[in-house]
């Protein structure tokens, strides 16, 4: 009944194969305001970011949830922790491709792996490590008219999903000695609706990328984030970050 009602709020999304998929219930016996029952509506928004769609659906469910529970529905809004919309990227790089100047490839690989290990255990390092990842992702998000604040909120919350803030990416060696990098994070993005529909710059950026679906855009953004992370760790583990930073600064003064 609740899923059917949620689907009635946006027949266009449903006609495209999306819509309400499931309900999840979480109970918090103790909160500063007393016991709480949390209801999650899992909703497939297809190629839209989906904030308005989800908010409309959960507001429509209010009287029926109150009828079923006998309680009062208070907050009705989407979560920016979109952990059912995970995007992933992976790269495998031979050490020889990472060599430069006086730095051998093996040295660079080990330095990157060590830098990753630092971010895993130390939240002070992880904050800057993940900020570097988001440097790349946010740039694409803003160019393509996405809600970069929502993306940031979801990414950093996902980094602390196990109760401790840690690295979003992983950097290890495979059996052949190659550097293997992976990145996984929630990305609620869209190629229809919102600013992508009305902002000419966002439309041009999407055409340049050659993406048509939200999934494709999320894949590009994740790959950019992983590449940005690689560049930062390569610099940090060899010549230091300031050379690149000061070169950029010199161009601006």
List domains and CATH numbers for the chain: 2-69 (3.30.70.420), 86-251 (3.90.770.10)
Q: Is the pLDDT of residue 9 over 80?
A: yes
Q: Is the pLDDT of residue 15 over 60?
A: yes
Tell me what pLDDT residue 242 has. 64
Tell me what pLDDT residue 198 has. 86
> Which of 136, 170, 138 is closest to 154 using CA atoms?
138
pLDDT class of 251 with cuts at 50, 70, 90: low
- Distance (Å, whole) CA 156 – CA 152: 6
Tell me what pLDDT residue 240 has. 78
Whether the CB-CB separation of 19 and 163 falls below 8 Å is answered with no
Alpha helices of the chain — where are they, by DSSP H?
A: 2-8, 11-15, 51-60, 62-69, 105-121, 123-143, 148-159, 195-198, 200-209, 214-236, 242-251
Q: Is the pLDDT of residue 208 over 90?
A: yes
CA dist 154 → 1, 179, 235 (Å):
30, 27, 27
For residues 19-44, give the mean pLDDT. Answer: 97
Tell me what pLDDT residue 217 has. 99
- Distance (Å, whole) CA 50 – CA 233: 34
90-129 pLDDT tens trace? 999 999 999 999 999 999 999 999 999 999 999 999 999 9
């Amino acid at each position: 009944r609740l899923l059917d009602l949620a689907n009635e709020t946006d027949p266009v999304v449903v006609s495209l194969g999306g819509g309400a998929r499931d309900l999840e219930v979480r109970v918090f016996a103790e909160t500063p305001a007393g016991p709480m029952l949390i209801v999650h509506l899992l909703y497939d928004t297809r190629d839209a970011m989906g904030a308005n769609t989800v908010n409309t659906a959960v507001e429509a469910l209010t009287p029926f949830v109150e009828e079923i529970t006998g309680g009062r529905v208070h907050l009705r809004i989407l979560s920016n922790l979109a952990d059912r919309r995970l995007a992933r990227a992976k790269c495998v790089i031979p050490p020889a491709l990472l060599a430069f100047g006086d730095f051998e490839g093996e040295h660079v690989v080990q330095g990157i792996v060590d830098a990753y290990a630092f971010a895993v255990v130390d939240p002070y390092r992880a904050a800057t490590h993940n900020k570097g990842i988001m440097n790349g992702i946010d740039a694409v998000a803003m160019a393509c008219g996405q809600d970069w604040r929502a993306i940031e909120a979801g990414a950093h919350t996902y980094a602390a999903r196990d109760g401790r803030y840690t690295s979003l990416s992983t950097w290890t060696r495979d059996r052949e000695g190659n550097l293997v990098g992976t990145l996984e994070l929630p990305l609620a993005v869209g190629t229809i609706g919102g600013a992508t529909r009305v902002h000419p710059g966002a439309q041009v950026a999407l055409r340049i990328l050659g993406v048509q679906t939200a999934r494709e855009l999320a894949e590009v953004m994740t790959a950019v984030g992983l590449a940005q992370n690689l560049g930062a760790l390569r610099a940090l583990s060899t010549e230091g970050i300031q050379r690149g930073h000061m070169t950029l600064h010199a161009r601006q003064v």
